[in-house]
Chain A
């Protein structure tokens, strides 16, 4: 086993354990904090895959902004630290069977599919060059120009909607 594989196993363990704790912990605030660790694990997986830009984006957007957003949303709810309702309901057996079937099916397909057996190859990219290529592709009419501009409109719509909704909360309170 190479060093990279050992590092990957550690990262995968951290990610999976914290992801399980997100749904298993009883306090919703703790769930939000475990989610941060889980997202950090995903960022480390990106780093081991040599895609530094995505690792940085993961930290910047998901840990820096979206986790903050989730934590603020949790802080807006009542009884942040006191919610001790039951963690499972009567459908848990059915859910277990369903997810086991899904897991078995996915594994069976991935193990028999010949494309999944291909040996991964190192990406021959000079440091920094792939980010430049991404930047050029973003404003290239043959590349991602339309998604790039649509993204800005989407962000505009999200911001307007969020401000409209919270203005509504304020109006109903006063």
Chain B
């Protein structure tokens, strides 16, 4: 059981090491001849106007919150789904009630226009 996590740990170490090594070796080997055009900042070819650390819209926060609610719903439903084969009808109905209550949340968010970009 624990050795399964060891594989993930090795994977994490390798995945951190590979880009670090690539950037380090590139920095070591690449010739450095900077000029004004090479050092210019760009985002998709457009010059940025002003500071890029602006105050973002509150809409992002609503999207993240809606995501959080349904993420937690997934976490609750996952053990239920794993035990589905041994479930009684009562257990299935309880999970359906759980989903229906959160469906109400989704319909509320939808009706209030929280899922649309203003």
Partners in one complex: yes
Q: Report which A residues bind B (CB closer than 8 A).
A: 4, 7, 29, 44, 47-48, 50, 52-53, 55, 57, 60-61, 64-66, 68-69, 72-73, 75-78, 80-82, 127-128, 131-136, 138-141, 145, 148-149, 151-153, 155-156, 158-160, 162-163, 166-167, 169-170
With A69-B61, A76-B58 as known contacts, state yes or no: A159 contacts B66, CB within 8 Å.
Answer: yes
Does B87 sit within 8 A of A, measured CB to CB?
yes
| A78–B55 CB distance below 8 A | yes
The CA of A43 and the CA of B59, in the complex, are separated in Å by: 29
- Contacting residue for B79 out of A134, A153, A156, A158, CB 8 A: A134
Q: When chains A and B are docked, how far (Å) is the Cα of A128 from the Cα of B95? A: 20
B: residues with CB less than 8 A from A are 1-2, 4-5, 8-9, 53, 55-69, 71-76, 78-84, 86-87, 90-92, 94-95, 97-98, 101-102, 104-105, 108-109, 112, 114, 118
Interface majority SS (helix, strand, loop, mixed), chain B: helix
Q: Are B2 and A75 in contact (CB under 8 A)?
A: no
Task: Provide a sorted-by-A list of 27 A–B residue pairs whose CB atoms are within 8 angstroms.
Answer: A4-B2, A48-B2, A55-B5, A60-B71, A60-B75, A69-B65, A75-B55, A75-B56, A81-B53, A131-B79, A131-B82, A132-B79, A135-B79, A135-B82, A135-B83, A135-B87, A136-B87, A139-B91, A139-B92, A149-B94, A152-B73, A155-B73, A156-B108, A159-B109, A160-B108, A166-B59, A170-B118
